[in-house]
Structure 1
């Protein structure tokens, strides 16, 4: 099938099957997204960050943990593209490997909190009554505390480390998703097609899984993408405060913490991982804004 024929098949106003209609809708969303240059920039930078993090073993020029005290705090050069830190370790290689740690934490948190928030919100919004009041009061308790402070309390109660940081951020990040899913569900549950499904005798669990939850996914995806930047900042903050990834792990926040005393004289040591955090956060924000414009019907 040629490109022109495929495009016509996707954009036809009279699809011959549900699959053709679904792919046509996805293609139209992609065309709308592609028309936003900032969103495309965010997507490209995000893909590049993920790619270079995954390919760190092949792209790194040095062992990220190898020390060379004779070459400590060296300026950027041909031998060390971004200079070296206080222990003579190559900053470029450590930033690449640090992306695996930081972005890996973000992915782990999202995988944990998105399904949890979706499940809690859909159940509370559709079932209502006592279940809604209990679930929302639990959600309110978690929302009453600042995310970083609550994450610090959880990590301190367990022990510092990547696994503890992921669990702590996940425990503090799910309430906004539950609130969003509940609001979407309360609008969906009174619609005609949900009433028709209910008349067929479908159980509540089936209605929530097959009909309500899929309708909430668009808003949830947008919220998750926008929240990734705050998750990156929280993970980096925990590392900076010594509660996240522990040295000598090349995590961006921990790298800034160990090098902050050199910011005036050897500026590149703490600045480079700071720039990495900034670029990753900005890319996810731009990507989230673009997805919101495409997936939110109120923005169209």
Structure 2
């Protein structure tokens, strides 16, 4: 592969690992590749990445992977044990195939995770950077609002929002998002306070750049890496909060195959038919573990204070 400005014999790996990037795009590609090389050396992080890739594939191909309709009931086959022919993980109290419901439940989990990951960090980033850059009474007011949200346990506050908004998966996502943004605001504010008085920010300000442009073009990019790590590590908590709302009947509504609701349905049979509640519980455990392992790996790569 030949690259403009480089010798024709240089491979693409050598081009990415060169110490003298030819352009900004080249520098970004080289930084991404070097980060991937560091990430790849962390075996536990690769396990976490594998779990999440598997979750994505299961959710994408759920109609082809699920052996049965996840909401089809057959009372003649209720509470079948593990290993039953045609029902590998048994059936629940309504005769629905547990494996099929777990597979389709991966879609619900990803739906909640993606929506919360799109809403909460953006709100927190906006609040934190505005507070940190503006300072004064703006900082005081925004941070006191953040403190009010942080004063309540997340699940309790989410329960209050869902009770006010009504049960349902959309309202559950909104409630979790409203309770998840304060930590991101704190991180963004701390990053902004660190860099707002730096020389290059002063130079940009002297060139006539407006505060919003400085925040969006010069401060936000420096906060992204910390937020990515925090989002990844928070995904386990978000999944547990969604499962808790589903367990209490305030999240996804029947007959939607949501893992928390499946545990709630199986708790009545936990002594005699333990697999009904155990299987969705294991699914939540594995996915949460995957996000935590991935978050640890990303922290090692993206943290500028980490040892290289």
TM class by shorter chain equals: over 0.9
Measured in 1, the distance between the counterparts of 2:25 and 2:159 equals: 47
Q: Determine if the alignment matches structure 1 residue 67 to structure 2 residue 69.
A: no
Report Cα offsets for 1:19-50 as digits up to 9, x if no partner: 11111111000000000000011011111112
Shifted more, 284-293 versus 125-134: the winner is 125-134
Counterpart for residue 40 of structure 1:
46
1:5 aligns with 11
2: CA distance between counterparts of 1:34 and 1:259? 39
1:103–1:232 CA contact under 8 A, matched in 2: no
TM-score by length of 2: 0.95
Is the counterpart of residue 208 in structure 1 residue 222 in structure 2? Answer: no
- The Cα offsets for residues 27-84 of structure 1, whole Å up to 9 and x where unpaired, read as 0000000000000110111111121012111111100010111111111223111111
After superposing on structure 2, the runs of 4+ consecutive aligned residues of structure 1 that deviate more than 6 Å are none
Which of 110, 121, 124 is equivalent to 1:103? 110
Runs of at least 5 residues in structure 2 that lack an aligned partner in the other structure: 3-8
Aligned pair partner of 2:258 in 251, 267, 277: 251
Q: In the aligned structure 2, how far is the partner of 1:217 from the partner of 1:15?
A: 23
Q: Output the CA distance in 2 between the equivalents of 1:207 and 1:186.
A: 13
What is the SS of the residue equivalent to 2:11? helix
8 Å contact kept, 1:72–1:89: yes
User: Aligned match of 1:168 in 175, 178, 202?
Assistant: 175
Instruction: Identify which range, 34-43 or 10-19, moves more after superposition.
Output: 10-19
Matched, 1:276 2:286: no
- CA RMSD, aligned part only? 1.2
Question: Is residue 266–residue 274 contact of structure 2 (8 Å, CA) maintained in 1?
Answer: no
State how far apart, in whole Å, the 2-side matches of 1:206 and 1:299 are: 30
1:186 corresponds to: 193
How many corresponding residue pairs? 300
SS at match of 1:66: coil
Aligned positions of 1:127-142 closer than 5 A: 127-142=134-149
Q: Which runs of 5+ in 1 are unaligned?
A: none
TM-score by length of 1: 0.98
Residues 72-151 of structure 1: pairs in structure 2 closer than 5 A: 72-76=78-82, 77-151=84-158
Q: Aligned equivalents of 1:74 and 1:10: distance in 2?
A: 56
SS at match of 1:299: coil
